[in-house]
Amino acid sequence: MINLVIDIGNTHTKVAVFDHQVLRKVDHYESLNPQHIHAYLTGQGITHSILSCVSLDHITELEELLAKQTTYIRFATHLATTISNQYQSPETLGLDRLAGVVGAQALHPHKNCLVVDAGTCITYDAVTKKGLYHGGSISPGIHMRLKALHTFTDKLPLIDLDLEFTALAGTDTRTSILSGVTQGAMLEMQGFIKNYQLRYPDLQVVLCGGDAFFFDTRLKNTIFAHLLSVEPHLVLIGLNEIIHQQND
């Protein structure tokens, strides 16, 4: 069973090939086209495919190609059959958030999991060991916070994230912004983890997203280090799990 997993997000697209549950390769695209898909379907023995997309515009040709040559699934909330989804408006729940929860459940069965996806936004989503999902939280990501300070003020400059910056307090405008954004995001994240840990003492925190390693290096120096695992491809793992659930 060779699976092609496609996650079309807000800013980029990830395409992965799985041999059953083993991740073989991941590629990144700014814009995915049918020629890319055709290349995967030629000579790699792809049997099944799944596509998750934040917008359904411009994917018809991709879907036609996948459906013609594989057993194809378009991911939707009702396909996450191992999750008891208590979200009051499931049709508005981000598919990446739900796939991340499915991925965490697959990696850490029979554990309470908190998925922290540090990307364009930072999202916090928990699933219990019994598969209950009650909802989560959405917060601005690091780069969004930096842009917001510049956009909504007259004098604050737009600065780039400095991966080496760890100071508690800044000594000029640039470092003060870095301090406020990075320390603020870190304290927020620690607060969420602490509150979920109080609710679920055996909590497993799974960190994913484009800024996952930025937070990982800093969380390793906190009391929460023992709770943490990092899985940059968690959403892809969750989508691959959906294929297996639908074909069992």
Instruction: Tell me the pLDDT tens digit for each residue of 42-99.
Output: 878 899 999 998 776 778 888 898 999 999 999 988 888 888 888 888 788 889 999 9
155-209 pLDDT, tens digit per residue, is 999 999 988 888 899 899 999 999 999 999 999 999 999 999 999 988 999 999 8
How many structural domains are present in the chain? Answer: 2
Residues 112 and 159 in one domain: yes
Residues 224 and 201 in one domain: yes
Angstrom CA distances, 184 to 22, 141, 145, 238, stand at 37, 11, 10, 29
Residues 41 and 95 in one domain: no
Residue 112 has pLDDT above 90, yes or no: yes
Residues 66 and 121 in one domain: no
Is residue 247 assigned to a domain? no
Cite the DSSP H helix spans in the chain.
34-41, 60-69, 95-107, 142-151, 173-199, 212-219, 234-247
pTM: 0.89
Dist CA 84 CA 133 (whole Å): 6
Residues 97 and 53 in one domain: no
Residues 57 and 118 in one domain: no
**Catalytic-role residue among 7, 96, 125, 211:** 96
Q: Say which CATH number the domain at 149 has.
A: 3.30.420.40
Dist CA 173 CA 175 (whole Å): 6
Is residue 241 assigned to a domain? no
Residue 226 has pLDDT above 90, yes or no: no
Instruction: Find out whether 3 and 50 touch, Cβ atoms under 8 Å.
Output: yes
Task: Please give the average per-residue pLDDT across 115-141, as a whole number.
Answer: 93
Residues 187 and 67 in one domain: no
Dist CA 64 CA 239 (whole Å): 19
Is residue 154 assigned to a domain? yes
- Confirm whether 57 is a catalytic residue: no
Q: If pLDDT is split at 50, 70 and 90, which confidence band does 246 have?
A: confident
Task: List the domain range (segments joined by +) for residue 92.
Answer: 78-236
Is residue 246 assigned to a domain? no
Is residue 50 assigned to a domain? yes
What is the pLDDT, as a whole number, of residue 56? 67
Is residue 35 assigned to a domain? yes
